Chains A and B, each alone.
Chain A
Protein backbone atom coordinates (compact mmCIF):
# COMPACT_ATOMS: atom_id res chain seq x y z
CA UNK A 1 0.00 0.00 0.00
CA UNK A 2 2.73 2.41 1.04
CA UNK A 3 4.64 1.47 -2.06
CA UNK A 4 1.72 2.38 -4.27
CA UNK A 5 1.50 5.78 -2.61
CA UNK A 6 5.19 6.38 -3.20
CA UNK A 7 4.96 5.43 -6.85
CA UNK A 8 1.82 7.51 -7.27
CA UNK A 9 3.59 10.64 -6.09
CA UNK A 10 6.79 9.82 -7.98
CA UNK A 11 4.77 9.56 -11.18
CA UNK A 12 2.77 12.69 -10.42
CA UNK A 13 5.98 14.73 -10.04
CA UNK A 14 7.41 13.07 -13.14
CA UNK A 15 4.45 14.35 -15.15
CA UNK A 16 5.26 17.92 -14.12
CA UNK A 17 8.88 17.40 -15.08
CA UNK A 18 7.99 15.72 -18.36
CA UNK A 19 5.36 18.19 -19.68
CA UNK A 20 7.87 20.61 -21.25
CA UNK A 21 9.84 17.71 -22.66
CA UNK A 22 6.71 16.26 -24.24
CA UNK A 23 5.70 19.58 -25.78
CA UNK A 24 9.25 20.13 -26.99
CA UNK A 25 9.50 16.75 -28.72
CA UNK A 26 5.92 16.61 -30.02
CA UNK A 27 6.24 20.06 -31.59
CA UNK A 28 9.73 19.63 -32.94
CA UNK A 29 8.79 16.62 -35.01
CA UNK A 30 5.54 17.94 -36.42
CA UNK A 31 5.42 18.90 -40.08
CA UNK A 32 4.42 22.43 -41.02
CA UNK A 33 0.77 21.52 -41.74
CA UNK A 34 0.30 20.14 -38.23
CA UNK A 35 1.66 22.98 -36.13
CA UNK A 36 -1.64 24.79 -35.91
CA UNK A 37 -2.28 25.80 -32.34
CA UNK A 38 -5.20 23.41 -31.88
CA UNK A 39 -2.94 20.39 -32.34
CA UNK A 40 -0.42 21.50 -29.76
CA UNK A 41 -0.95 18.65 -27.29
CA UNK A 42 -1.19 15.89 -29.89
CA UNK A 43 1.66 13.72 -31.01
CA UNK A 44 2.63 14.30 -34.64
CA UNK A 45 0.65 12.21 -37.14
CA UNK A 46 3.50 12.28 -39.59
CA UNK A 47 6.86 12.54 -37.89
CA UNK A 48 8.86 15.10 -39.77
CA UNK A 49 12.38 16.43 -39.52
CA UNK A 50 11.60 19.62 -41.46
CA UNK A 51 11.43 21.84 -38.35
CA UNK A 52 14.62 20.34 -37.06
CA UNK A 53 16.44 20.90 -40.34
CA UNK A 54 15.24 24.48 -40.57
CA UNK A 55 16.32 25.17 -36.99
CA UNK A 56 19.68 23.63 -37.70
CA UNK A 57 20.14 25.87 -40.75
CA UNK A 58 19.36 28.91 -38.61
CA UNK A 59 21.27 27.95 -35.48
CA UNK A 60 24.09 25.89 -36.97
CA UNK A 61 26.63 28.73 -37.02
CA UNK A 62 25.68 29.70 -33.47
CA UNK A 63 26.08 26.14 -32.26
CA UNK A 64 29.56 26.25 -33.73
CA UNK A 65 30.24 29.53 -31.91
CA UNK A 66 29.11 27.94 -28.66
CA UNK A 67 31.51 25.06 -29.14
CA UNK A 68 34.38 27.43 -30.02
CA UNK A 69 33.59 29.33 -26.85
CA UNK A 70 32.82 26.53 -24.44
CA UNK A 71 35.60 24.05 -25.17
CA UNK A 72 38.65 26.33 -24.77
CA UNK A 73 37.09 28.24 -21.85
CA UNK A 74 36.35 24.98 -20.06
CA UNK A 75 39.80 23.51 -20.54
CA UNK A 76 41.65 26.67 -19.54
CA UNK A 77 39.57 27.20 -16.43
CA UNK A 78 39.99 23.57 -15.38
CA UNK A 79 43.78 23.92 -15.41
CA UNK A 80 43.73 27.23 -13.59
CA UNK A 81 41.40 25.75 -10.98
CA UNK A 82 43.63 22.74 -10.53
CA UNK A 83 46.83 24.66 -9.87
CA UNK A 84 45.02 27.16 -7.65
CA UNK A 85 43.39 24.33 -5.73
CA UNK A 86 46.83 22.82 -5.12
CA UNK A 87 48.14 26.04 -3.61
CA UNK A 88 45.05 26.77 -1.49
CA UNK A 89 44.97 23.24 -0.07
CA UNK A 90 48.63 22.34 0.32
CA UNK A 91 50.67 25.53 0.65
CA UNK A 92 49.98 27.16 3.99
CA UNK A 93 50.32 30.89 3.76
CA UNK A 94 49.02 33.75 5.83
CA UNK A 95 45.44 34.88 5.21
CA UNK A 96 44.96 32.02 2.71
CA UNK A 97 41.42 31.37 3.95
CA UNK A 98 40.47 35.02 3.93
CA UNK A 99 41.82 35.46 0.39
CA UNK A 100 39.98 32.34 -0.66
CA UNK A 101 36.69 33.65 0.75
CA UNK A 102 37.24 36.94 -1.06
CA UNK A 103 37.77 35.02 -4.31
CA UNK A 104 34.72 32.85 -3.68
CA UNK A 105 32.44 35.85 -3.33
CA UNK A 106 33.12 36.42 -7.03
CA UNK A 107 30.97 33.47 -8.00
CA UNK A 108 27.88 34.76 -6.22
CA UNK A 109 27.81 38.37 -7.39
CA UNK A 110 25.13 39.42 -9.83
CA UNK A 111 27.20 39.93 -12.96
CA UNK A 112 25.18 43.05 -13.68
CA UNK A 113 27.38 44.75 -11.10
CA UNK A 114 30.50 44.35 -13.25
CA UNK A 115 28.92 44.34 -16.69
CA UNK A 116 29.31 47.93 -17.80
CA UNK A 117 32.99 48.23 -16.80
CA UNK A 118 33.65 44.79 -18.26
CA UNK A 119 32.34 45.83 -21.64
CA UNK A 120 34.26 49.12 -21.59
CA UNK A 121 37.36 47.12 -20.71
CA UNK A 122 36.80 44.59 -23.51
CA UNK A 123 36.27 47.46 -25.95
CA UNK A 124 39.54 49.04 -24.88
CA UNK A 125 41.52 45.84 -25.42
CA UNK A 126 39.68 45.20 -28.72
CA UNK A 127 38.08 41.96 -27.56
CA UNK A 128 34.52 43.28 -27.42
CA UNK A 129 32.17 41.34 -29.69
CA UNK A 130 34.56 38.43 -30.13
CA UNK A 131 34.49 34.83 -29.01
CA UNK A 132 37.96 35.31 -27.49
CA UNK A 133 36.52 38.08 -25.35
CA UNK A 134 33.82 35.74 -24.09
CA UNK A 135 36.40 33.04 -23.40
CA UNK A 136 38.39 35.50 -21.29
CA UNK A 137 35.26 36.47 -19.37
CA UNK A 138 34.28 32.89 -18.60
CA UNK A 139 37.81 31.92 -17.60
CA UNK A 140 38.09 34.82 -15.15
CA UNK A 141 34.65 34.43 -13.58
CA UNK A 142 35.16 30.66 -13.50
CA UNK A 143 38.17 31.00 -11.18
CA UNK A 144 36.16 30.83 -7.91
CA UNK A 145 34.17 27.67 -8.62
CA UNK A 146 37.00 25.74 -10.30
CA UNK A 147 39.42 26.65 -7.51
CA UNK A 148 36.82 25.61 -4.93
CA UNK A 149 36.22 22.19 -6.46
CA UNK A 150 39.92 21.37 -6.78
CA UNK A 151 40.75 22.77 -3.36
CA UNK A 152 38.14 20.53 -1.75
CA UNK A 153 39.34 17.57 -3.75
CA UNK A 154 43.01 18.03 -2.86
CA UNK A 155 42.14 18.60 0.81
CA UNK A 156 41.25 14.91 0.93
CA UNK A 157 44.72 13.98 -0.27
CA UNK A 158 46.96 13.35 2.79
CA UNK A 159 49.52 16.11 3.31
CA UNK A 160 52.14 13.41 3.98
CA UNK A 161 51.99 12.41 0.33
CA UNK A 162 52.97 15.90 -0.75
CA UNK A 163 55.53 16.26 2.06
CA UNK A 164 57.15 12.96 1.09
CA UNK A 165 57.50 14.18 -2.47
CA UNK A 166 59.20 17.37 -1.24
CA UNK A 167 61.49 15.22 0.92
CA UNK A 168 62.47 13.23 -2.13
CA UNK A 169 63.68 16.49 -3.59
CA UNK A 170 60.80 17.08 -5.98
CA UNK A 171 59.97 20.74 -6.36
CA UNK A 172 56.64 22.50 -6.38
CA UNK A 173 55.71 21.75 -9.98
CA UNK A 174 57.15 18.25 -10.05
CA UNK A 175 55.08 17.36 -7.00
CA UNK A 176 52.03 18.63 -8.85
CA UNK A 177 52.69 16.69 -12.04
CA UNK A 178 53.89 13.48 -10.34
CA UNK A 179 51.72 13.29 -7.22
CA UNK A 180 48.56 15.37 -7.55
CA UNK A 181 47.80 15.58 -11.25
CA UNK A 182 47.67 11.79 -11.84
CA UNK A 183 44.99 11.37 -9.15
CA UNK A 184 43.02 14.44 -10.26
CA UNK A 185 40.99 12.84 -13.04
CA UNK A 186 37.70 12.72 -11.08
CA UNK A 187 38.02 16.39 -10.11
CA UNK A 188 38.84 17.31 -13.70
CA UNK A 189 35.76 15.46 -14.90
CA UNK A 190 33.57 17.30 -12.38
CA UNK A 191 35.01 20.70 -13.25
CA UNK A 192 34.93 20.14 -16.99
CA UNK A 193 31.32 19.03 -16.94
CA UNK A 194 30.35 21.85 -14.65
CA UNK A 195 32.05 24.55 -16.68
CA UNK A 196 30.90 23.08 -19.98
CA UNK A 197 27.27 23.08 -18.87
CA UNK A 198 27.40 26.54 -17.32
CA UNK A 199 29.21 28.27 -20.14
CA UNK A 200 27.07 26.59 -22.76
CA UNK A 201 23.87 27.62 -20.99
CA UNK A 202 24.98 31.13 -20.08
CA UNK A 203 23.05 34.08 -21.49
CA UNK A 204 23.84 37.43 -19.86
CA UNK A 205 27.50 37.68 -20.95
CA UNK A 206 26.65 36.10 -24.27
CA UNK A 207 24.03 38.70 -25.13
CA UNK A 208 25.99 41.73 -23.91
CA UNK A 209 29.54 40.89 -24.99
CA UNK A 210 28.69 39.81 -28.53
CA UNK A 211 26.82 42.14 -30.81
CA UNK A 212 26.82 40.78 -34.35
CA UNK A 213 24.59 37.73 -35.01
CA UNK A 214 27.42 35.73 -36.58
CA UNK A 215 29.38 35.84 -33.32
CA UNK A 216 26.53 35.00 -30.98
CA UNK A 217 26.42 31.81 -28.96
CA UNK A 218 23.39 29.59 -29.44
CA UNK A 219 21.48 30.75 -26.34
CA UNK A 220 21.29 34.28 -27.73
CA UNK A 221 20.32 33.05 -31.17
CA UNK A 222 17.54 30.94 -29.64
CA UNK A 223 16.03 33.92 -27.84
CA UNK A 224 16.16 35.96 -31.04
CA UNK A 225 14.60 33.10 -32.97
CA UNK A 226 11.78 32.72 -30.44
CA UNK A 227 11.28 36.47 -30.28
CA UNK A 228 10.47 36.78 -33.96
CA UNK A 229 6.79 36.25 -34.69
CA UNK A 230 7.35 34.94 -38.19
CA UNK A 231 9.17 31.78 -37.15
CA UNK A 232 7.01 28.66 -36.94
CA UNK A 233 6.58 26.97 -33.57
CA UNK A 234 8.10 23.70 -34.67
CA UNK A 235 11.26 25.56 -35.68
CA UNK A 236 11.41 27.38 -32.35
CA UNK A 237 10.97 24.19 -30.36
CA UNK A 238 13.50 22.40 -32.54
CA UNK A 239 15.85 25.30 -31.81
CA UNK A 240 15.29 24.86 -28.09
CA UNK A 241 15.99 21.15 -28.43
CA UNK A 242 19.19 21.80 -30.38
CA UNK A 243 20.35 24.27 -27.74
CA UNK A 244 19.65 21.81 -24.94
CA UNK A 245 21.04 18.74 -26.65
CA UNK A 246 24.80 18.99 -25.94
CA UNK A 247 24.39 19.53 -22.20
CA UNK A 248 21.64 16.90 -22.06
CA UNK A 249 23.93 14.34 -23.66
CA UNK A 250 26.63 15.19 -21.13
CA UNK A 251 24.08 14.83 -18.32
CA UNK A 252 22.82 11.47 -19.53
CA UNK A 253 26.33 10.08 -19.95
CA UNK A 254 28.05 11.64 -16.93
CA UNK A 255 25.23 12.67 -14.61
CA UNK A 256 27.02 11.39 -11.50
CA UNK A 257 29.82 13.91 -11.95
CA UNK A 258 27.41 16.68 -12.81
CA UNK A 259 25.69 16.22 -9.44
CA UNK A 260 29.04 16.47 -7.66
CA UNK A 261 29.76 19.79 -9.32
CA UNK A 262 26.28 20.95 -8.43
CA UNK A 263 26.76 20.14 -4.77
CA UNK A 264 30.25 21.66 -4.71
CA UNK A 265 28.64 24.93 -5.77
CA UNK A 266 26.84 25.16 -2.46
CA UNK A 267 30.28 25.65 -0.81
CA UNK A 268 29.98 23.63 2.42
CA UNK A 269 33.77 23.83 2.97
Chain B
Protein backbone atom coordinates (compact mmCIF):
# COMPACT_ATOMS: atom_id res chain seq x y z
CA UNK B 1 0.00 0.00 0.00
CA UNK B 2 2.70 2.41 1.09
CA UNK B 3 4.80 1.49 -1.90
CA UNK B 4 1.86 1.96 -4.23
CA UNK B 5 1.19 5.43 -2.83
CA UNK B 6 4.84 6.27 -3.27
CA UNK B 7 4.68 5.38 -6.94
CA UNK B 8 1.46 7.31 -7.45
CA UNK B 9 2.79 10.28 -5.49
CA UNK B 10 5.95 10.52 -7.52
CA UNK B 11 4.09 10.20 -10.79
CA UNK B 12 1.73 12.98 -9.69
CA UNK B 13 4.57 15.45 -9.11
CA UNK B 14 6.62 14.21 -12.04
CA UNK B 15 5.00 16.55 -14.60
CA UNK B 16 5.74 19.56 -12.39
CA UNK B 17 9.31 18.44 -11.83
CA UNK B 18 9.81 17.89 -15.54
CA UNK B 19 8.21 21.26 -16.36
CA UNK B 20 10.55 23.05 -13.95
CA UNK B 21 13.50 21.03 -15.24
CA UNK B 22 12.77 22.23 -18.77
CA UNK B 23 11.35 25.73 -18.24
CA UNK B 24 13.81 26.76 -15.55
CA UNK B 25 17.00 24.73 -15.79
CA UNK B 26 16.79 23.76 -19.45
CA UNK B 27 16.04 27.30 -20.56
CA UNK B 28 18.77 28.76 -18.34
CA UNK B 29 21.24 26.40 -20.03
CA UNK B 30 19.90 27.50 -23.40
CA UNK B 31 20.31 31.18 -22.48
CA UNK B 32 23.83 30.45 -21.27
CA UNK B 33 24.59 28.82 -24.59
CA UNK B 34 23.20 31.81 -26.51
CA UNK B 35 25.31 34.15 -24.38
CA UNK B 36 28.44 32.38 -25.68
CA UNK B 37 27.34 32.71 -29.31
CA UNK B 38 27.56 35.23 -32.11
CA UNK B 39 23.75 35.62 -32.36
CA UNK B 40 23.79 39.37 -32.39
CA UNK B 41 21.50 40.00 -35.34
CA UNK B 42 18.23 38.67 -36.67
CA UNK B 43 19.90 37.14 -39.70
CA UNK B 44 22.41 35.28 -37.51
CA UNK B 45 19.48 33.81 -35.63
CA UNK B 46 17.70 32.85 -38.85
CA UNK B 47 20.79 31.15 -40.22
CA UNK B 48 20.89 29.34 -36.92
CA UNK B 49 24.56 28.40 -37.22
CA UNK B 50 25.95 28.33 -33.76
CA UNK B 51 29.37 29.89 -33.49
CA UNK B 52 30.98 29.72 -30.09
CA UNK B 53 32.67 33.00 -29.23
CA UNK B 54 33.56 32.28 -25.62
CA UNK B 55 33.29 35.20 -23.24
CA UNK B 56 33.31 37.84 -25.98
CA UNK B 57 29.80 39.14 -25.22
CA UNK B 58 30.58 39.38 -21.52
CA UNK B 59 33.84 41.21 -22.12
CA UNK B 60 32.08 43.63 -24.44
CA UNK B 61 29.43 44.25 -21.80
CA UNK B 62 31.86 45.06 -19.04
CA UNK B 63 33.63 47.49 -21.38
CA UNK B 64 30.31 49.09 -22.32
CA UNK B 65 29.79 52.38 -20.46
CA UNK B 66 26.03 51.88 -20.45
CA UNK B 67 26.35 48.55 -18.70
CA UNK B 68 28.82 50.02 -16.23
CA UNK B 69 26.25 52.70 -15.44
CA UNK B 70 23.65 49.95 -14.99
CA UNK B 71 25.82 48.19 -12.43
CA UNK B 72 26.40 51.37 -10.45
CA UNK B 73 22.71 52.19 -10.62
CA UNK B 74 21.83 48.72 -9.37
CA UNK B 75 24.29 49.05 -6.50
CA UNK B 76 23.02 52.42 -5.29
CA UNK B 77 19.39 51.61 -5.97
CA UNK B 78 19.72 48.41 -3.94
CA UNK B 79 21.50 50.09 -1.01
CA UNK B 80 19.04 52.95 -0.61
CA UNK B 81 16.01 50.84 -1.41
CA UNK B 82 16.97 48.25 1.22
CA UNK B 83 17.71 50.90 3.81
CA UNK B 84 14.46 52.75 3.07
CA UNK B 85 12.13 49.77 3.07
CA UNK B 86 13.65 48.15 6.15
CA UNK B 87 13.76 51.38 8.17
CA UNK B 88 10.26 52.47 7.21
CA UNK B 89 8.96 48.91 7.57
CA UNK B 90 10.27 48.66 11.14
CA UNK B 91 8.86 52.07 12.04
CA UNK B 92 5.47 51.13 10.60
CA UNK B 93 5.50 47.83 12.49
CA UNK B 94 6.41 49.48 15.81
CA UNK B 95 3.70 52.12 15.43
CA UNK B 96 1.02 49.66 14.38
CA UNK B 97 2.05 47.13 17.02
CA UNK B 98 1.24 49.59 19.79
CA UNK B 99 -2.33 48.55 19.13
CA UNK B 100 -3.90 52.00 19.42
CA UNK B 101 -7.38 52.60 18.12
CA UNK B 102 -7.37 52.48 14.31
CA UNK B 103 -4.09 50.55 14.09
CA UNK B 104 -5.72 47.99 11.87
CA UNK B 105 -6.76 50.70 9.43
CA UNK B 106 -3.22 52.07 9.25
CA UNK B 107 -1.83 48.58 8.80
CA UNK B 108 -4.16 47.92 5.87
CA UNK B 109 -3.36 51.29 4.36
CA UNK B 110 0.41 50.75 4.58
CA UNK B 111 0.13 47.39 2.89
CA UNK B 112 -2.19 48.32 0.05
CA UNK B 113 0.58 49.31 -2.42
CA UNK B 114 1.64 45.64 -2.46
CA UNK B 115 -1.64 44.74 -4.16
CA UNK B 116 -0.93 47.14 -7.02
CA UNK B 117 1.08 46.55 -10.15
CA UNK B 118 4.55 48.11 -10.38
CA UNK B 119 3.35 49.44 -13.71
CA UNK B 120 0.57 51.44 -12.06
CA UNK B 121 2.94 52.70 -9.37
CA UNK B 122 5.41 53.78 -12.02
CA UNK B 123 2.76 55.58 -14.07
CA UNK B 124 1.43 57.57 -11.12
CA UNK B 125 4.80 58.47 -9.58
CA UNK B 126 6.16 59.48 -12.97
CA UNK B 127 3.52 62.17 -13.06
CA UNK B 128 4.17 63.29 -9.50
CA UNK B 129 7.89 63.63 -10.17
CA UNK B 130 7.59 65.02 -13.69
CA UNK B 131 9.66 68.22 -13.42
CA UNK B 132 7.88 70.31 -16.06
CA UNK B 133 9.72 73.12 -17.82
CA UNK B 134 11.91 74.72 -15.21
CA UNK B 135 12.02 77.34 -13.92
CA UNK B 136 8.83 78.91 -15.23
CA UNK B 137 6.43 76.07 -15.87
CA UNK B 138 6.97 73.55 -13.11
CA UNK B 139 4.84 70.45 -12.79
CA UNK B 140 4.14 67.82 -10.18
CA UNK B 141 6.04 68.23 -6.92
CA UNK B 142 7.98 71.16 -8.34
CA UNK B 143 4.69 72.98 -8.83
CA UNK B 144 3.79 72.30 -5.22
CA UNK B 145 7.18 73.63 -4.09
CA UNK B 146 6.66 76.78 -6.17
CA UNK B 147 3.24 77.37 -4.66
CA UNK B 148 4.69 76.96 -1.18
CA UNK B 149 7.47 79.40 -2.00
CA UNK B 150 10.14 76.71 -1.84
CA UNK B 151 11.48 77.46 -5.31
CA UNK B 152 15.00 76.34 -4.53
CA UNK B 153 13.75 72.79 -3.89
CA UNK B 154 12.72 72.49 -7.54
CA UNK B 155 14.99 70.26 -9.61
CA UNK B 156 14.92 67.86 -12.52
CA UNK B 157 14.03 64.72 -10.48
CA UNK B 158 14.34 61.68 -12.73
CA UNK B 159 15.45 63.78 -15.68
CA UNK B 160 18.41 65.21 -13.78
CA UNK B 161 21.85 64.18 -15.00
CA UNK B 162 23.55 65.27 -11.79
CA UNK B 163 25.46 62.74 -9.79
CA UNK B 164 27.41 62.32 -6.59
CA UNK B 165 30.36 60.18 -7.53
CA UNK B 166 28.72 57.24 -9.32
CA UNK B 167 25.33 57.82 -7.72
CA UNK B 168 22.90 59.29 -10.24
CA UNK B 169 20.53 61.58 -8.38
CA UNK B 170 17.78 60.77 -10.88
CA UNK B 171 17.45 57.45 -9.06
CA UNK B 172 16.05 59.20 -5.97
CA UNK B 173 12.46 59.43 -7.26
CA UNK B 174 12.60 55.81 -8.40
CA UNK B 175 13.81 54.76 -4.95
CA UNK B 176 11.01 56.77 -3.32
CA UNK B 177 8.44 54.97 -5.50
CA UNK B 178 9.95 51.54 -4.80
CA UNK B 179 10.05 52.19 -1.05
CA UNK B 180 6.45 53.34 -1.26
CA UNK B 181 5.48 50.03 -2.78
CA UNK B 182 7.43 47.61 -0.60
CA UNK B 183 7.77 49.07 2.90
CA UNK B 184 4.33 47.73 3.81
CA UNK B 185 5.56 44.25 2.95
CA UNK B 186 8.49 44.68 5.32
CA UNK B 187 6.07 45.93 7.96
CA UNK B 188 3.98 42.77 7.56
CA UNK B 189 7.05 40.59 8.03
CA UNK B 190 8.10 42.45 11.19
CA UNK B 191 4.57 42.48 12.56
CA UNK B 192 4.36 38.71 12.18
CA UNK B 193 7.67 38.49 14.01
CA UNK B 194 6.70 40.89 16.79
CA UNK B 195 3.46 39.04 17.39
CA UNK B 196 5.35 35.76 17.61
CA UNK B 197 7.50 36.92 20.53
CA UNK B 198 6.24 35.23 23.70
CA UNK B 199 4.75 37.69 26.14
CA UNK B 200 6.57 36.34 29.19
CA UNK B 201 9.94 37.41 27.76
CA UNK B 202 8.68 40.99 27.51
CA UNK B 203 7.10 40.77 30.95
CA UNK B 204 10.33 39.49 32.47
CA UNK B 205 12.23 42.41 30.96
CA UNK B 206 9.64 44.82 32.33
CA UNK B 207 9.96 43.31 35.79
CA UNK B 208 13.71 43.87 35.53
CA UNK B 209 12.92 47.52 35.00
CA UNK B 210 13.88 47.81 31.31
CA UNK B 211 12.44 50.81 29.48
CA UNK B 212 10.26 50.34 26.43
CA UNK B 213 13.09 51.60 24.25
CA UNK B 214 15.54 49.17 25.81
CA UNK B 215 13.10 46.28 25.48
CA UNK B 216 12.78 47.02 21.81
CA UNK B 217 16.47 47.21 20.99
CA UNK B 218 17.81 44.65 23.47
CA UNK B 219 15.02 42.06 23.54
CA UNK B 220 12.83 42.33 20.48
CA UNK B 221 15.32 43.30 17.77
CA UNK B 222 17.72 40.41 18.44
CA UNK B 223 14.75 38.03 18.24
CA UNK B 224 13.80 39.64 14.93
CA UNK B 225 17.22 39.15 13.32
CA UNK B 226 16.05 36.21 11.17
CA UNK B 227 13.25 38.44 9.86
CA UNK B 228 15.65 41.23 9.00
CA UNK B 229 17.77 38.69 7.18
CA UNK B 230 14.80 37.32 5.18
CA UNK B 231 13.66 40.85 4.38
CA UNK B 232 17.13 41.82 3.15
CA UNK B 233 17.30 38.75 0.94
CA UNK B 234 13.78 38.97 -0.49
CA UNK B 235 13.95 42.72 -1.09
CA UNK B 236 17.53 42.51 -2.29
CA UNK B 237 16.70 39.99 -4.96
CA UNK B 238 13.69 42.04 -6.06
CA UNK B 239 15.93 45.04 -6.43
CA UNK B 240 18.55 43.15 -8.45
CA UNK B 241 15.95 42.22 -11.05
CA UNK B 242 13.84 45.40 -10.95
CA UNK B 243 12.26 46.11 -14.32
CA UNK B 244 8.55 47.03 -14.49
CA UNK B 245 8.72 49.99 -12.14
CA UNK B 246 11.64 51.67 -13.87
CA UNK B 247 10.32 50.81 -17.32
CA UNK B 248 6.92 52.39 -16.61
CA UNK B 249 8.23 55.32 -14.59
CA UNK B 250 11.34 56.65 -16.31
CA UNK B 251 12.77 54.18 -18.80
CA UNK B 252 16.52 54.47 -19.12
CA UNK B 253 16.53 58.26 -18.81
CA UNK B 254 18.94 60.82 -20.31
CA UNK B 255 22.48 59.39 -20.39
CA UNK B 256 21.02 56.22 -18.88
CA UNK B 257 20.77 57.86 -15.45
CA UNK B 258 17.95 55.50 -14.44
CA UNK B 259 18.93 52.53 -16.58
CA UNK B 260 19.13 49.07 -14.98
CA UNK B 261 20.41 45.74 -16.38
CA UNK B 262 16.86 44.43 -16.92
CA UNK B 263 15.96 47.35 -19.18
CA UNK B 264 19.20 47.06 -21.17
CA UNK B 265 18.57 43.33 -21.53
CA UNK B 266 15.04 43.99 -22.77
CA UNK B 267 16.19 46.54 -25.33
CA UNK B 268 19.08 44.43 -26.60
CA UNK B 269 16.96 41.31 -26.97
CA UNK B 270 13.64 42.70 -28.13
CA UNK B 271 14.48 46.02 -29.77
CA UNK B 272 17.86 45.51 -31.42
CA UNK B 273 17.93 41.72 -31.91
CA UNK B 274 21.25 41.35 -30.14
CA UNK B 275 20.20 38.12 -28.48
CA UNK B 276 23.65 37.00 -27.38
CA UNK B 277 24.39 40.28 -25.60
CA UNK B 278 20.93 40.26 -24.00
CA UNK B 279 21.46 36.70 -22.84
CA UNK B 280 24.80 37.63 -21.30
CA UNK B 281 23.07 40.31 -19.20
CA UNK B 282 20.39 37.79 -18.21
CA UNK B 283 23.04 35.33 -17.03
CA UNK B 284 24.83 38.04 -15.03
CA UNK B 285 21.49 38.96 -13.38
CA UNK B 286 20.88 35.29 -12.60
CA UNK B 287 24.30 34.98 -10.97
CA UNK B 288 23.64 38.02 -8.77
CA UNK B 289 20.29 36.63 -7.66
CA UNK B 290 21.67 33.12 -7.13
CA UNK B 291 24.43 34.41 -4.85
CA UNK B 292 21.75 35.92 -2.61
CA UNK B 293 19.06 33.24 -2.86
CA UNK B 294 20.78 29.85 -2.98
CA UNK B 295 22.35 29.97 0.52
CA UNK B 296 19.06 31.31 1.86
CA UNK B 297 17.06 28.48 0.29
CA UNK B 298 19.37 25.79 1.59
CA UNK B 299 19.55 27.21 5.08
CA UNK B 300 15.78 27.46 5.35
CA UNK B 301 15.33 23.91 4.04
CA UNK B 302 17.90 22.63 6.52
CA UNK B 303 16.35 24.63 9.35
CA UNK B 304 13.12 22.85 8.62
CA UNK B 305 14.61 19.40 9.01
CA UNK B 306 15.82 20.10 12.53
Contacts and interface: CB of A to CB of B under 8 A. Distances in A.
Interface of A: 3, 6-7, 9-10, 13-14, 16-20, 23-24, 27, 37-38, 40-41, 80, 83-84, 86-88, 90-91, 93, 97-106, 108-118, 121, 140-141, 143-144, 147, 166, 171-173, 197, 200-204, 208, 219, 222-223, 226, 233, 236-237, 239-240, 243-244, 247-248, 250-251, 255, 258-259, 262-263, 265-269
B8 A105 contact: no
B275 A266 contact: no
Interface string B113-133: 111111111011111100010
B298 interface: yes
Nearest to B302: A97
B150 interface: no
A115 B269 contact: yes
B62 interface: no
Contact of B137 (A3, A37, A219, A266): A37
A243 B31 contact: no
A250 B115 contact: yes
B240 interface: yes
Interface centre among B98, B116, B283 (most CB of A within 10 A): B116
Given A208-B270, A269-B303, A240 B123 contact: yes
B248 interface: yes
By Cβ-Cβ distance, the 6 closest A-B pairs, closest first, are A201-B117, A91-B9, A251-B115, A114-B27, A269-B304, A110-B241
Contacts, number: 262
18 contacts: A7-B100, A10-B102, A16-B180, A38-B143, A84-B12, A91-B6, A97-B304, A99-B17, A110-B262, A112-B265, A114-B31, A116-B279, A143-B19, A172-B5, A201-B120, A203-B248, A219-B244, A233-B127
A13 B275 contact: no
B296 A116 contact: no
B160 interface: no
Given A143-B16, A171-B5, A266-B189, 7 more contacts: A24-B124, A40-B143, A87-B10, A110-B286, A117-B26, A244-B117, A262-B114
Interface residues of B, number: 100
A7 B116 CA distance: 26
A80 B124 contact: no
A6 to B, nearest CB: 6
Nearest to B110: A17
B79 interface: no
A101 B17 CA distance: 11
Contacts of A23: 124, 127-128
Given A101-B298, A143-B20, A223 B248 contact: yes
B92 interface: yes
Contacts of B25: 102
B16 A103 contact: yes
A24 B128 CA distance: 10
Given A17-B109, A116-B278, A251-B112, A108 B117 contact: no
A255 B106 CA distance: 13
A202 to B, nearest CB: 8
Nearest to A162: B5
Nearest to B2: A166
A116 B34 contact: yes
Contacts of A240: 120, 123-124
A103 B31 CA distance: 19
B204 to A, nearest CB: 22
A9 B94 CA distance: 11
B143 A166 contact: no
Interface in B1-44: 1-2, 4-6, 8-10, 12-13, 16-17, 19-20, 23-28, 30-31, 34
B192 interface: yes
A90 to B, nearest CB: 8
Contact of B106 (A10, A88, A103, A117): A10
B282 A6 contact: no
A23 B126 CA distance: 11
Contacts of A84: 12-13, 16
Contact of B12 (A83, A201, A208): A83
Interface string B155-179: 0000000000000000000000000
A104 B282 contact: no
B140 interface: yes
Contacts of A141: 23
Contact of A244 (B88, B120, B147, B305): B120
B9 A93 contact: yes
B180 A17 contact: yes
B143 A37 contact: yes
